[in-house]
């Protein structure tokens, strides 16, 4: 008579078959793309996978993949063309690839140049001091080139204002925790 009526319905351990499971039929596990991405991301980075918000349709995945490829191309072009942002396009490419192509997303995260920037951003919107300095110097060089090229005043003011806003936003972003620890 020591047993309570509710004891028969209570699982004896957390790994009991009746206990709710995160690998059961939840929204993420129902989406093959999200399941594949979760496994790929964990295998390549050792960190938890990014949050998936449902599984896009085939057309949605194709459009997101095209956005990822186009943004990646624009980002690579931005390395060589002053005034064309690189980081913004690479962030867009990573966002779109995470929702459309696990292979492309994993490649971006492991890339020698883009990987550290993307991993810092995905870890909490971190931007390293080195990246902040590089972006600021590139924007200043772009303004200088526009001044020397004789760009119309309205275009110079518009571009300079946009770059100043980006610089302010960038310098307000936190730096990665590991960088702060080594600087102290």
Output the tens digit of pLDDT for each of the chain's 184 residues.
444 444 444 444 434 333 333 333 344 434 544 554 455 555 555 555 554 555 678 899 999 999 999 999 999 998 888 777 888 899 999 999 999 999 999 999 999 988 998 998 888 889 889 889 988 988 898 899 999 999 999 999 999 999 999 899 999 999 988 644 555 5
CB of 93 within 8 A of CB of 71? yes
If asked whether residues 42 and 108 sit together in one domain, one would say: yes
If asked whether residues 110 and 133 sit together in one domain, one would say: no
| C-beta neighbour count of 74 within 10 angstroms | 18
Residue 109 lies in a domain: yes
Output the DSSP codes for 77-93: HHHHSTTS-SHHHHHHH
If asked whether residues 90 and 163 sit together in one domain, one would say: no
Q: Which range marks the domain in which residue 62 is found?
A: 27-114
Name, in order, each residue with C-beta under 8 angstroms of 127's C-beta and a sequence gap of 6 or more: 117, 120, 121, 170, 173, 174, 175
From 113, 74, 106, 111, select the one nearest 92 (Cα to Cα): 74
Please give the model's pTM, rounded to 2 decimal places. Answer: 0.58
If asked whether residues 132 and 160 sit together in one domain, one would say: yes
CA 67 – CA 49 distance, rounded (Å)? 21
Residue 82 lies in a domain: yes
Of 61, 91, 114, which marks where a domain is finished? Answer: 114
Alpha carbon 95 to its chain's center: 5
- Please state the domain count of the chain: 2
Residue 90 lies in a domain: yes
CA 146 – CA 24 distance, rounded (Å)? 57
Apex CA 99: angle with CA 94 and CA 105, to 5°? 40
Tell me the C-alpha to C-alpha distance, in Å, between residue 122 and each of 69, 126, 132, 136.
Answer: 19, 8, 17, 22
């Amino acid at each position: 008579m020591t047993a309570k009526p509710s004891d028969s319905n209570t699982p004896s351990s957390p790994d009991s078959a009746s206990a709710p499971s995160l690998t059961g039929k939840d929204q993420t596990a129902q989406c093959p793309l999200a399941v594949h991405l979760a496994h790929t991301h964990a295998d390549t980075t050792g960190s938890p996978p990014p949050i998936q918000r449902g599984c896009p349709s085939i057309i949605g995945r194709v459009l997101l993949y095209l956005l990822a490829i186009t943004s990646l191309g624009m980002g690579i072009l931005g390395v060589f063309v002053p005034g064309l942002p690189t980081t913004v396009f690479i962030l867009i490419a990573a966002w779109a690839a995470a929702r459309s192509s696990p292979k492309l997303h994993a490649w971006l995260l492991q890339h020698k140049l883009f990987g550290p920037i993307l991993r810092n951003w995905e870890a909490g919107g971190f931007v390293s001091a080195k990246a902040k300095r590089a972006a600021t110097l590139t924007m200043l060089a772009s303004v200088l080139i526009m001044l020397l090229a004789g760009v119309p005043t309205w275009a110079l003011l518009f571009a300079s204002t946009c770059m100043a806003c980006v610089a302010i936003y960038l310098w307000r972003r936190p730096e990665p925790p590991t960088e702060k620890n080594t600087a102290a």
